[in-house]
Amino acid sequence: MLAPGALCVSLTPRSLQEVFSSDLTGADCAEVRLDYLDIPQESVQARWDRLPVPVIVTCRGKQRGGQFEGSIEEEIRILRCAVQNGAKFVDIDYRSAKPFPGAQVIASFHDFSRTPADIEAVVDDACTGPGDVAKVATFVHSWADNRRLLSLLCRPWPKPVIAAGMGEIGQITRVIGPSRGAFLTYAASTTASAPGQLSLREMVDVYGFRRMRPSTKVVGIMGFATAGSVAPNVYNRAFAAMGLDFVFLKFSVPDMKDFLENAPAAGVVGFSVAPSHEMAVIPFLDSLTAKARDVGIVNTVSLQSGKWVGDIALDAARQFVIWTGHRPPSEIFEEKSGLS
């Protein structure tokens, strides 16, 4: 019904009309947040099999970080009606999960403030309950949090697992998670349903989600505020054109030491350095090239034999060569030196 590693578009509608007029092109399934509807109870008449992709329904109560003001009993009633009307999945908090005949149950846990220290135990509890899929979505404050979430996907759980990091720092988990074993990942249609959620178009057209594999190497631009960078569009077009197993992301890095210690576990093998950090990064690196030592700044870093090496590249094409060993198509990088 749904192949592992799927891309799910999350809809946060105020009306049913918004749901059925949504553009789902590129998505494998759709999550409909019934708790965002002005009147969630009106959804009991909706035919979810009218949509062109399988539907996940959730009606998360306010006590679990959602919008629904009713009781858990009312939430379950609404979800049961949705299953009777064609929904294929139900997302419900793992502590309230129960079988929904006719649908698979995603037993979920959400923490909008942090990634708990006992997150492995949470997944274990979710796997031992009646759900078919275990899901954790937690707020990420550090790259150590990213590492912990991604490591969940490497363990042999008895059920499929979803691990999503919320916030800008956690965006890497959303992009590469399915290639590392996550049952699915979420993207926004228009309004994000969780902090840091990327749009469906970004996932497909900018980051090349469909090209991801377990072996995909990750590079990116490192800084504290990289939201406006055009670099992902350029680099990822070049990777796709050359058939290289790389993806270029934006790295939000509030703590340099934390990033450099934990990024390799997430598959990061290199990054460009935002101009404001070209000197600040140096003390945290293992070594510098002779050119970087002479100039006294670093704008390109690569992982070589487990060591972070700082270099200075005069243009984006040279950075591409340092990371991949290949020269990119000149037309893609034309007049793109100093990408940020």
pLDDT computed for residue 172 by the predictor: 97
Please calculate the CA angle 327-228-179 and round it to the nearest 5 degrees: 60
Q: Which domain holds residue 34?
A: 6-210
Percent of the chain with pLDDT over 90: 87
pLDDT computed for residue 224 by the predictor: 55
Strands 300-304 and 268-273: antiparallel
pLDDT computed for residue 339 by the predictor: 57
Residue 338 lies in a domain: no
Task: Please state, rounded to an integer, the average pLDDT across all residues of the chain.
Answer: 94
Residue 28 lies in a domain: yes
Q: Domain check: are 329 and 201 in the same one?
A: no
Is the per-residue pLDDT at 225 higher than 60? no
Give the C-alpha separation, 74 to 62, whole Å: 13
Query: Residue 174 is part of a domain; what is its CATH number?
Result: 3.20.20.70
Q: How many domains does the chain have?
A: 2
Is the per-residue pLDDT at 226 higher than 80? no
Residue 145 lies in a domain: yes
pLDDT computed for residue 74 by the predictor: 97
Predicted confidence (pLDDT) per residue in 48-85, tens digit: 999 999 999 999 999 888 999 999 999 999 999 999 99
For 178-181, which contacts have Cβ atoms below 8 Å and span 24 or more sequence positions? Answer: 178/4, 178/5, 178/6, 178/7, 178/209, 178/212, 179/5, 179/212, 179/213, 179/214, 179/216, 180/150, 180/153, 180/154, 180/214, 180/267, 181/4, 181/153, 181/154, 181/214
Tokens of 48: 């979810």
Residue 340 lies in a domain: no
Q: Domain check: are 173 and 312 in the same one?
A: no
pLDDT computed for residue 37 by the predictor: 97
Residue scoring higher pLDDT (330 or 303): 303
Q: Domain check: are 77 and 199 in the same one?
A: yes
159-168, 193-202, 256-265: the lowest-pLDDT one:
193-202
Query: Residue 315 is part of a domain; what is its CATH number?
Result: 3.40.50.10860
Q: Domain check: are 203 and 71 in the same one?
A: yes
pLDDT computed for residue 227 by the predictor: 54
- Domain termination residue (choose one: 210, 230, 250): 210
Is the per-residue pLDDT at 222 higher than 80? yes
Q: Domain check: are 146 and 225 in the same one?
A: no
Strands 300-304 and 307-311: antiparallel
Residue 251 lies in a domain: yes
At position 297, the amino acid (one-letter code) is I
Which residue in 99, 176, 107, 95 sits closest to 137, CA to CA?
A: 107
Task: Name, in order, each residue with C-beta under 8 angstroms of 121's C-beta and a sequence gap of 6 or more.
Answer: none
Q: Domain check: are 141 and 17 in the same one?
A: yes
Is the per-residue pLDDT at 228 higher than 60? no
Give the dihedral sign, CA 145/173/31/226. positive
Report in angstroms the alpha-carbon separations of 161 from 76, 242, 247: 22, 32, 23
DSSP one-letter code for 248: E
Q: Domain check: are 169 and 244 in the same one?
A: no
Predicted confidence (pLDDT) per residue in 174-211, tens digit: 999 999 999 999 999 877 778 889 999 999 999 999 99
Q: Domain check: are 59 and 126 in the same one?
A: yes
Predicted confidence (pLDDT) per residue in 111-134, tens digit: 999 999 999 999 999 999 999 999
- Domain termination residue (choose one: 194, 210, 226): 210
The pTM of the full predicted model, rounded to 2 decimals, is: 0.94
Q: Domain check: are 65 and 191 in the same one?
A: yes
Percent of the chain with pLDDT over 70: 96
- Domain termination residue (choose one: 210, 226, 247): 210
Contact 186, 194 (CB under 8 A): yes
Contact 11, 31 (CB under 8 A): yes
Give the C-alpha separation, 160 to 182, whole Å: 7
Is the per-residue pLDDT at 307 higher than 70? yes
Give the C-alpha separation, 307 to 26, whole Å: 38
89-93, 142-146, 156-160, 230-234: the lowest-pLDDT one:
230-234
Q: Domain check: are 146 and 241 in the same one?
A: no
Phi, psi dihedrals of residue 292, rounded to the nearest 5°: -65, -40
Q: Domain check: are 117 and 259 in the same one?
A: no
Contact 266, 231 (CB under 8 A): no
